[in-house]
Amino acid sequence: MPARLIESLATTEPLAELFSDQSVLQAMLDFEVALAWAEARVGVVPPAAAEHIAAVAKADAFDMVALAHAMFRAATAAIPVVKALTEKVRARNPEAARYVHWGATSQDVADTALILLLKRARPLLENDISRLETALAKLSDQHKNTVMLGRTLMQAAPPVTFGLKAAGWFAALHRSRARMDAAFGEALIVQLGGATGTLAALGEKGVAVAQELAKELGLACPEAPWHTHRDRLATLVCSCGVLTGTLGKMARDVSLLMQSEVAEAAEPGGDGRGGSSTMPHKRNPAGSTLALAAAQRVPGLVATFLSAMVQEHERAVGGWQSEWPVIASVIQLTGLAAASMAEVAEGLTVDGQRMRANIDATKGVIFAERAMILLGSKLGRDVAHKVLEEATRTSVTQGRHLAEVLAEMPEITSHIDRVALRQLEMPEQYLGSAEAFRQALLASPGKKNRNQEQ
| Under 8 Å between Cβ of 106 and 79 | yes
Residues 175, 179, 273, 315: which is the catalytic one? 315
Q: Is 255 a catalytic residue?
A: no
Measured distance CA(157)–CA(152) in Å, rounded: 6
Non-local CB neighbours of 452 within 8 Å, separated by 6+ positions: none
Alpha-carbon distance of 114 to 217, in angstroms, equals 12
Task: Please provide the size of the chain in residues.
Answer: 454
Distance in angstroms (rounded) separating the CA atoms of residues 118 and 14: 13
Q: CB-based burial of residue 352 (10 Å sphere; 0-12 exposed, 13-18 middle, 19+ buried)?
A: middle
315 a catalytic residue? yes
CA pair distance 244, 219, nearest whole angstrom: 26
Q: Which of 8, 73, 276, 381 is catalytic?
A: 276
Which amino acid is it at 247? L
Q: Which of 12, 13, 3, 4 is nearest to 290 (CA)?
A: 12
Assess contact for 217 and 116: CB atoms under 8 A. Answer: yes
Active site residues: 276, 315
